[in-house]
Every structure is written in C-alpha cells, then in structure tokens.
Structure 1
Amino acid sequence: MQYCKHCQVHVRGKRETCPLCMNLLTGREYSDDLDLAYPEIPLTFEGHLVIRIILFISIISIVISFVFNRVFPSHINWPVFVVFGLVSMWLSLIAVMKKKHNIPKTIMWQVTIVSALSIFWDYETKWRGWSINYVIPITLVLAMLIMYITAKIMKLGVRDYILYFLLDGLFGIIPVGFILFDWISTIYPSILCVTVSIIFTCAIIIFQGENIKNEFNRRMHI
C-alpha cells in the first residue's frame, strides 16, 4: 500500500503517482501481486453493428455524390471529395482504434499532419485556398465524428470525455478564425465545422456534464 502525502490517502496498486493529484507516492507497507487495485482487463468492443452502419452510410454517401454530380454538373468533382474524405475517416478510425490507449493524442497528430500537408500543397500549387476552404474544416469535422464514434464503441471513461470536450472546443475555434479574418471564399464548410463542434460540445456537457464536474472536483480537491 502506497501513501500520498498531499491527499493523505493510501493508494493500492503499483502506481508511482497519485490518481487524484498526480504527485509522487511514497512508501510501501508490503509488496504483493494481490496489491493491484483492479485486474488488467483489455478493452472490449461492441462496435460490430456500429461499424456496419458506418460502412452502409459510407456506401450510400458515395452513391449519392455520384448521382448529385450527374444531375447537377459542377466544376467541383464532389465524388472525389467524398471518396477521399471517407477513406481518410476509415484510416483514421482504424488508426485510433489500434492506438486506443492514447486516442486524443493520435487524433490531434492526424489533424495536425493533414492540415499542415494541405496548406503546404495548396501553397505549392499557387494557393487556391482549397486547404482552408475545404480540407481543414472537413478534417476537423471528421476528427470530431471519429472521436464520438470511438467513444461510443469503446465505452471510454470520464477522463477521455474531458479531453474530447477540450478538443471539440479547440476544433470549433479554428474555422472561426478563418471567417473573422476573411481568409476563405467558401464559408459553408467552416460553418459546418463550428456547428458540429457546438453540437458535440453541448452533447458532452448535457450527457456527461455531471461526471466531468465530479472528475474536476476530484482533481482540484474541491
């Protein structure tokens, strides 16, 4: 049994830091494998139905994009945008589920890399603005959708929801800057991104607000 001098509590298990204040623990009265507070149980997935639904929606989206492009011809190749967007979403979802122990960090890295590459290639191709008009807002929306789907499939804990709450707020602020500084010529993707961010943030507050508040109270010792 270890002891936290800051919280004045005993902590079971083989932890090095206190789960409440994250300060270093001191002393061990005994050392035994039975000292583990909880057995290590791997994360389980109940996402077979969810995956099938997402796959079905993806196929329908591709079909609708081709029909829409055929009925309403445009200089924008919407099927290509939809296909690349869905491929990115699936690759991100697979990568996130494989890196399930640090999902927010994985998503942040993916968003950062995709955004940076899109800006770089947009700049190298005589800057048409497609990176900030389309790619970055759509990437942020996909990231928020992946976070929501992953949280539902993997039944993540309150701590993960706190991180998602912060990330949703951050993702919603970025397109607001594009609009305020008048950097974009097509405003709809940015508005969509801000809207999705507000919806997801409100959903987290409404459905997980009490748990998040309790978690903050435990961490801040309120």
Structure 2
Amino acid sequence: MQQCRKCRINVDGDKDRCPLCQGELTGTPEPEMYPKITESRFGSDFLLKLISFIAISAAAICIGTDYIITGRITWSLICIGGIICAWLTTSVGIAYRRRILKNITWELILITSLSVIWDRFTGWRGWSVDFVLPCASICAVISIFIIAKVLKMKSGEYMLYLIIGGFYGFLPLICLIAGLTNITYPTVICTCLSVILMAALFLFRGKTTKDEFERRFHL
C-alpha cells in the first residue's frame, strides 16, 4: 500500500500523487479495486459534430456545383432542404439512441412534420397526409409495442409512448374530415388501429394508464 508521509495517510490503488496534498507517495502500489472506465471515442458529441460537418460540407458542395453549372443558386436550395431534414432526423436518433421508445416517438413527430412541410412547399400533392402520416403512426405504435414486449419493460416504461402514439394516430382522421386526404384507406386503417389501442389501454390497463397520466402530468 502507498503512503503519504506529509499527510500520514494510506492511499489505496495505484496513484501517482497524494489526493490531498499532491505530494509524492512511498510504498508499493496496489491494483485498482474497480477497473477504469474509458469513455467511448465516438460519443454523442463527436457523432453530432461529425454529421454537422458532413451536412455543412454537402451543402457547400451543392451550392458551389449549382453556381458553377447554372451561374446562380437554384436546385441546390432543394438539396439543402433535404440535408437539413437528414441532419435533424439523424441528430434526434443520436441524442436519444439509448432511449429507444422516446427516439421512436420523436422521430414520428419529426418525420411527419417535415413531410408536411416538404409537401406544402413542393406544390401540395397530399402524399404527406395520404401515406406518410398514417403509415408512420402505424409503424411507430407497432414498433413501441413489440420493443416493449421483447425487452420485457414494465408498463410505466412504455405506457406513455403508446398513449402518445394512439392519440397521434387520430391526426389522419382530422385531415380526412378537413378534406386534406385524397386516398383514404391508410387513414382508415390507422384510425381503426388507434381506436383499438386506446380501447385496450383504458379498458384493460385503465388504472395503469390513469396512474401514468397522474405521474407524468402531476395531476
């Protein structure tokens, strides 16, 4: 064991200096009781910086190429919009990669919102509300349910995300009522699934659902 003569204490492990006075230690060092935990080289901060660098580089290349070919900035604006969307979705995926259910929920909201924006600024053909919104809602709810069962999560760990997914599945119905939907069968399937899900939650897991609402919203 190592000792510090100045502080007159014993120091466990293998240290270079006294943790109190930073003085030299004497004696024989002992192996660390717990292994040292090394931080991952490719952590969240590095990955976010990397995708930001790639996005900025891609945008710069698109603008430069567009200006060289056409003498002005035209189609590169569409490319930049796509790059921004890819950067946003990838950033959310990295930020919540350890919270997979929250990741799915945020990706659902982000992807459907970006789809509506793209549809709106490219002439509004309705594909965002006809297909993306209902199909993404269905996939999100099914994914949350399957992951929760495979990972054997407790009800409180996934109930909120199922509720959000269930309520989100009624947005295609609102679009249908508002006359924004041209192709109805994805909306009908999504709405039926949301009704079945919410009925199952409130009828068979009513107490758990109520407790989750009270806990999350401090009711």
TM-score, L = length of structure 1? 0.48
Tell which structure's C-alpha radius of gyration is larger: 2
TM-score, L = length of structure 2? 0.48
